[in-house]
């Protein structure tokens, strides 16, 4: 069943994701100008071929839903071509659905089809959907790898430490803060707090530094005698000294830098644990 606009309106003061998409489409003038510019700019290397196109304007909501149900792998690129992702689905449809899921129920397939059918393009090449899928898949995998870096740090801390570290939270001034790796792993008190952070760009130095300093200040307000440590990923070695200086603060006890390699992570963790007196006497081989 197709979704009605009234069903998607959260409140009169707030527009739905669908309404925002419709409102912010490129103008016909831009579309025409871009098409002309691409043809002119790449005129010497343009070749006309016979490729498959999907005629979405001939597809009913029911047919689209059936296609989603039979082939869940197509859901992600079809949604991507109209700027719809997992957060928009949760917001407008209140559905917790992984757009990369290998299965989909008939009900969810119907809801997704009814939601996006009104603003699908009339015609779209299969190759365009393939490229969209490649782009978003690569982006997802890159983000996952970056997110795993924090887990790798924590795993190495626990492999080399005499005591276990765990992610923990603390409250101060009515705010909740999360520590990536804390010691002890439970209880009311936190003796050591380790903030693990990736800083990917030079321009993010000030923003990320402020975040770290703010968390350190809040932590020391809650636990004045405890230690606050930062382990940083910053892929500009020549600027490590500048970042270190930027993070000079009485609430930050130790700062270590680590890269992506296992040896770099192990070295940083070993130095940190040695400084804290928590390093195992005979650490296991990092390659085992």
286 within a domain of the structure (yes/no): no
Low-confidence ranges of the chain (pLDDT < 70): 1-15, 282-288
Q: Looking at the structure, tell me whether residues 204 and 85 fall in a common domain.
A: no
153 within a domain of the structure (yes/no): no
Which tens digits make up the pLDDT trace of 48-96? 888 899 999 999 999 999 999 999 999 999 999 999 989 989 999 999 9
pLDDT of residue 284: 54
152 within a domain of the structure (yes/no): no
Q: Tell me the C-alpha to C-alpha distance, in Å, between residue 255 and each of 194, 251, 269, 271.
A: 10, 11, 11, 10
- For 27-138, strand residue ranges (E) read 53-55, 123-125
Q: Are 148 and 140 in contact (CB under 8 A)?
A: no
Which tens digits make up the pLDDT trace of 126-136? 999 999 999 89
Q: Looking at the structure, tell me whether residues 89 and 23 fall in a common domain.
A: yes
The domain boundary residue, chosen from 143, 169, 197: 143
Q: Looking at the structure, tell me whether residues 166 and 262 fall in a common domain.
A: yes
* Cα-Cα end-to-end distance for the chain: 55
Q: Choose among 173, 181, 182, 133: nearest CA to 153.
A: 181
Q: CA-CA distance, 165 to 231, in Å (whole number)?
A: 14
The domain boundary residue, chosen from 111, 143, 175: 143
Element (H, E) at 200: none
Structure tokens at 209: 């530094």
Q: CA-CA distance, 249 to 218, in Å (whole number)?
A: 13
Q: Looking at the structure, tell me whether residues 11 and 116 fall in a common domain.
A: yes
81 within a domain of the structure (yes/no): yes
Tally of domains in the chain: 2
Q: CA-CA distance, 85 to 99, in Å (whole number)?
A: 7
Range of the domain at 258: 161-276
Decide: pTM greater than 0.75.
no
């Amino acid at each position: 069943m197709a979704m009605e606009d009234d069903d998607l309106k959260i409140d009169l003061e707030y527009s739905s994701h669908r309404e925002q998409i419709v409102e912010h489409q490129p103008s016909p003038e831009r579309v025409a100008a871009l098409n002309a510019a691409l043809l002119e700019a790449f005129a010497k290397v343009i070749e006309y071929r016979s490729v498959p196109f999907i005629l979405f304007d001939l597809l009913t909501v029911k047919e689209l839903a059936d296609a989603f149900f039979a082939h869940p792998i197509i859901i992600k690129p079809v949604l991507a071509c109209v700027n719809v992702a997992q957060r928009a689905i949760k917001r407008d449809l209140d559905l917790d659905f992984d757009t990369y899921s290998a299965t989909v129920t008939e009900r969810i397939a119907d809801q997704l089809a009814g939601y996006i059918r009104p603003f699908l393009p009339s015609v779209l090449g299969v190759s365009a959907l393939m490229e969209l899928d490649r782009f978003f898949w690569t982006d997802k995998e890159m983000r996952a790898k970056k997110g795993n870096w924090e887990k790798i740090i924590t795993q190495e801390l626990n492999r080399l430490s005499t005591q276990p570290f765990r992610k923990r939270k603390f409250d101060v001034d009515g705010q909740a803060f999360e520590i990536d790796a804390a010691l002890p792993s439970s209880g009311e008190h936190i003796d050591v707090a380790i903030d693990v952070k990736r800083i990917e760009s030079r321009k993010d130095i000030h923003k990320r530094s402020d975040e770290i300093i703010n968390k350190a200040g809040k932590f020391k307000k809650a636990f004045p005698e405890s230690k606050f440590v930062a382990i940083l990923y910053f892929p500009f070695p020549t600027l490590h000294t500048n970042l270190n200086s930027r993070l000079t603060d009485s609430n930050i006890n130790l700062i270590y830098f680590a890269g992506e390699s296992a040896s770099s992570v192990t070295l940083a963790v070993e130095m940190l644990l040695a400084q804290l007196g928590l390093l195992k006497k005979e650490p296991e081989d990092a390659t085992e």
